[in-house]
Amino acid sequence: MSRGWPLWEVFVRSRRGLSHTHVGSLHAPDAEMALRNARDVYTRRQEGVSLWVVPSAEIVASDPGEREAFFDPADDKVYRHPTFYDVPEGVEHL
Amino acid sequence: MITPPGSSTPPLPFSSDYVLGLADDALVSAQRMSWWISRAPELEEDLALANIGLDQLGQARTLLTYAGALEGAGRTEDDLAYLRDDREFRNVWLVERPQTDFGVTIARLLVFATYQAELYAALAASSDATLAGVAGKAVKEVAYHLDHARLWTLRLGDGTEVSHERMQAALDAEWPYVDELFTPVEGALVDPASLRDAVLGRVAAVVREATLEVPDVAPTVGGGRRGLHTEHLGHLLAEMQHLHRSHPGATW
C-alpha cells in the first residue's frame, strides 16, 4: 500500500517570527491527509504552530555533481559575509 | 482539582456510576485503539490511531479518579481500571468489541467521536466544575478524532468499489450498537437521550457525503451501563489487567 502513497516533505514553524524548517518526510494519499499525518508524526511534542507539506516530486534539487560549479566560486569572497557589522545586543534572530 | 464531596456540601445532581460510565467508554475505547499500534497499514496511521487512543486514555484517567473520589471508598484510577471485573464496568457495547478491520475502526470512531463531541460540549457548559474542566480540554482532542474519522470515511466510502463496499459493511456492523449510547441512565448530568438527534444528524451527514447509506437495522439490547457485557470485554480486560494483577503496584 505504501507504494501507492506519494511522499511529502514536511516543514514546521516552531513559533511565530521564525521560518518554516524542513523536518522530514512522510507518506500520505493526498494533501489533506498529508497535513494531518504531519501533525501526528512531527508535532506531537508541541514542536510547531504552523505546518507546510509539499509533494516531494515537486522539489527541484541542485545536482550534487555540479556542486563545485555551484558553490565553490563563493569561497574567496569574504566581503559578502556580514562580519563587518556590530550586531545589536538582544537581537536573537537577525 | 478534584475534591471529594464532604458532608457539608449539597448532594451532587449526578452519580459516581454516571462518571464511571463516561470513564469506561474512554478507557475501553483507548485499549481497543492500542491494538492498532504496529498493525496499522502505514506508520503515519499507526501514530494517528495511537495518538487518538492516548487522548482517550487521558480522559479516562481523570474521569476514573473523579469517579473514585465521588464514590468515597478510597479507590484510585488504577484500582478502578485494573481491579474491577467485567460486571463492574459501565461502558457501552460499541467500544468493547474487537476492531481488527480498519473500516470498522473508522466507522466506530466516527460514531464515538461525534457522540463524545456533543457530550463534552454539553458537559463543558454544565454546573460541575470538574466535569466541565475535563470536558473543556477533551473537546479539542475529540474534534481531531472526528476529523480523522470523517476524512477516512469520505475516502473509503467515495474511493474504489471495494473500499465503498467494505466501509458500508463496517457501518452496518457498528450500527446496531449506536442506540445504546443514548439510553437514559440514572443519575446523569447530561441526559444521553438529549444527544441523540445532534449525534445522528452529524454522523448521517458524513455518511451521505461519503456516498454511503445510513444503515436501517434494529438496535441490540445493550446493557453495558448496568454491567452486562459481550464476551469480548472479559478478554480485553484479561490483557489490560494482567500485568497489574500479576505484579501489584508495578510501575516503570
Domains of chain B: 16-246 (1.20.1260.10)
CA of B205: how far to CAs of B81, B116, B169, in Å?
35, 17, 18
Residue B170 predicted with pLDDT over 60: yes
Nearest to A36 among B41, B43, B48 (CB): B48
B1: pLDDT strictly greater than 50: no
Interatomic CA distance for residues B114 and A81, integer angstroms:
57
The pLDDT of A77-87, averaged and rounded, is 77
- A75 falls in which pLDDT band (50, 70, 90)? confident
Q: Does B155 touch chain A (CB under 8 A)?
A: yes
CB contact set of B244 (below 8 Å; sequence gap of 6+)? B78, B81, B82, B83, B250
Give the residue with greater pLDDT, A1 vs B80: B80
For residue range B16-34, list pLDDT tens digits in order: 999 999 999 999 999 999 9
Residue for grid cell 449539597:
B10
Closest chain A residue to B150 measured between Cα atoms? A33
Q: Is A9 on the interface with B (CB under 8 A)?
A: no
Q: Which domains does chain A have, with CATH numbers?
A: 2-80 (3.10.20.520)
Beta strands in chain A (DSSP E): 7-13, 21-27, 50-55
Say yes or no to pLDDT of A72 above 90.
Answer: no
* Residue B101 identity: D
Cell numbers standing for residue A78: 569574504
Q: How many CB atoms lie within 10 A of CB A50?
A: 13
Tell me the per-residue pLDDT of B200-217, one tens digit each, with 9 for 90 and over.
Answer: 999 999 999 999 999 999
Closest Cβ opposite residue B42 in set A2, A32, A44: A2
Question: Cα-flanking dihedrals φ and ψ of residue B70, to 5°?
Answer: -65, -35
Alpha carbons A60 and B202: distance in angstroms, whole number: 43
| Phi and psi angles of residue A51, each rounded to the nearest 5 degrees, phi first | -130, 140
Question: Across the interface, do A33 and B47 touch by the CB < 8 Å criterion?
Answer: no
**Residue A1 near chain B (CB below 8 Å):** yes
Please tell me if residue B41 touches chain A, with a CB cutoff of 8 Å: yes
DSSP state of B12: P
Contacts of residue B103, defined as CB under 8 A and 6 or more positions apart, other chains included, come to B156, B163, B166, B167, B169, B170
Find chain B residues with C-beta within 8 A of A26's C-beta: 43-44
Each residue's pLDDT tens digit, B63-93: 999 999 999 999 999 999 999 999 999 999 9
- Residue B186: phi and psi, rounded to 5, are -70, 145
Q: Where are the beta strands (DSSP E) in B127-237?
A: none
The Cα B188–Cα B18 span in angstroms is 6
